[in-house]
Chains A and B, each alone.
Chain A
């Protein structure tokens, strides 16, 4: 997934042409220290998920936070329903065209840095709903860091996705981090 593929107008629209989703270019980021590493460590172990649960996958997400799997063991315990208080968007369930603007709005409202896990076949690609009202993968609208397959994914699979995301954060490979890095490189280039 590259930024270019985010926000292409891909659907026929009644009326005016679409305004693509706004993708922040990272220009408001200026911190450039070695401290980042440490902060990333801290961030990866204290993710605050926002469960954007819409359908059946949300039920499995519930199982994941319940006693049997207990997501809090991975530091992602405080499920927040306010986008302002969370940095991990877990899209669990089918996103329809009616729901897509809501999802984009929530993603935009989340404080940076932010990460996205797409849970389940529907959120990743639309699954077996190749249909007139279903978004064929949320990466049409927002950048996704980890895709968890399954319908619904087992709680283990979601936890695996979470661990994968943690690894990515530590290695600086998430979408957000790469965007920041690119913005920095550009700024550097402009200075020298």
Chain B
């Protein structure tokens, strides 16, 4: 939701154009262009003034405009939990003097986001404590998301050139004159489920310092999206959070639809809700299962995975793929669901609860599990917000922020469901929240199923959606539209939009800029994991080494989404 008029007015009064704050009208959220000198003061005020109360920095990204004098824009997206409003700030800088003051001191969430902008565009952030490449490897030359960087240009990283935190080499002794030890967890480690690396300094078994290294799965999603048409990006979005592929596609399609001004027909929306919620269940199942597996409980994983396999079966029957389904299209869905869909979903509604019950019976009250997770990896609500956490992890810390409630999309406001929260903010709370979310999702699916009415599944706007096949085979006009859409891609009007949905891990944002062409000018994905994971090394300090595994599992870090 955008800011109320009087709040906007007071913002304009506090920062008039004479001070170098210029409003850019006609945007989806209030947008201001800010001189970089003013940024620290502005940021501090926006965060601390109760009128604005932007406690959360949701996203920082860069945009390259090679033909402009001030070549780069650094774009900040702010969110206020109390007022439920958003703000976008743009700080232009030139290539010769690409330095912006860091806002790390105001919002800690800026930590990795700023590093990413540095890595991708070469914009430096003065005052950032640890400004170095984050996604690309250290031997990489150039900045990949600049428009003049050739997407196929690779650089070889050789053994021994990998990045190492500067403190890892120092010899350090603890108070008893025992040498502390530096240990490398990952990137190929059974408990990291993917490709994360954490370097920890150990004093005995206690972690005294930690640093994460990510980017081992950086697949250049954002660069690739600039080279493909709007609909060709759907398969790429599937591979962001691959545990719940459907939801990424929905989030992306909603963002583009917002830009286009079209809406999916009701039937498509209901199907999107059903499959999204089933995907959420799947994602939570994997997260919980893997977490349990890591702390030593294999059996529940085997039980709940059966449910997952059956959801796969349903997705495959609808879309044709098990994991990466490419089912969503801008403006609707690729195909209608096949016959028997409703019975199949009803079957799942019957099938999943007993499996979850079995798992709960084994785990929830299990004293061993509770002792390993209670009080472990605690993060207070204020800290979690400061780090930019969203999703189940934030809710476990007691902040009831859920995009489905605060900014409903796909008609979520009409469904009756509750947002589970917990107050302790530890690993056990995150487990409890996820289990409850599975149950709430089942409730949503049940209601959505009742609303499934026949109808079209994709908009009939022939500038957006491919015409039906039988028309393409017979009618000349349809064939021409078909040809145009395939060869040139759909034309999305010039503009920019920040579309955000509630992914399995939290706020999944797609900041989309179109220049009117057949593919995005810039597509930035705001992955929820990214914000969550940057707090991880700080959470580890003072914990035992074994706890680090339990914490990591409970955060549900999906490398595909983290590194994109």
Contact = CB atoms under 8 A, between A and B. Distances in A.
Q: Direct A–B touching in the complex (beta carbon < 8 Å)?
A: yes
Nearest to A81: B190
B559 interface: yes
A139 interface: no
A133 interface: yes
A148 to B, nearest CB: 14
Interface stretch (A32-40, A99-107, A111-119): A99-107
Contact of B242 (A14, A55, A68, A102): A55
B159 to A, nearest CB: 4
A100 B139 contact: no
Interface stretch (A23-31, A124-132, A170-178, A181-189): A124-132
B223 A56 contact: no
Interface string A89-100: 000011011111
Main SS of the interface on chain B?
loop
Interface in A150-188: 151-152, 154
A67 B324 contact: no
A102 B187 contact: yes
Interface residues of B, number: 53
Nearest to A21: B159
A97 B137 contact: yes
A131 B225 CA distance: 11
A14 B142 CA distance: 11
B188 A132 contact: no
Contacts of B323: 56, 59-60, 152
Nearest to B241: A56
A4 interface: no
Interface size class of A (residues with CB under 8 A): 35 or more
B188 A96 contact: no
Contacts of B149: 132
Contact of B302 (A67, A96, A103): A67
Contact of A14 (B155, B162, B235): B155
Given A67-B305, A131-B224, A133-B218, A97 B151 contact: no
B121 interface: no
B219 interface: yes
A152 B324 contact: yes
Contacts of B560: 55-56
Contacts of A154: 322
Given A54-B217, A56-B324, A67-B305, A12 B157 contact: no
Contacts of B193: 53, 58
B469 interface: no
A97 B161 CA distance: 12
Contact of B215 (A9, A60, A98): A98
Contact of A13 (B158, B190, B302): B158
Contacts of B156: 9-13, 18, 97
A12 B151 contact: no
A16 B559 CA distance: 31
A99 B216 contact: yes
Contacts of A14: 139, 141, 155
A132 B154 contact: yes
B253 interface: no
Nearest to B309: A68
Contact of B239 (A13, A56, A63, A97): A56
Nearest to B145: A132
Nearest to A9: B156
Nearest to B157: A97
Interface string A41-80: 0000000000011111011101100111000000000000
11 contacts: A10-B156, A13-B155, A14-B139, A55-B242, A59-B242, A67-B306, A93-B217, A98-B162, A131-B220, A133-B218, A152-B323
Given A133-B220, A151-B324, 14 more contacts: A12-B141, A14-B155, A59-B243, A66-B302, A81-B189, A94-B217, A96-B219, A98-B162, A100-B157, A102-B216, A128-B224, A129-B219, A131-B219, A132-B220
Interface of A: 9-15, 18-19, 52-56, 58-60, 62-63, 66-68, 81, 93-94, 96-106, 122, 128-134, 151-152, 154
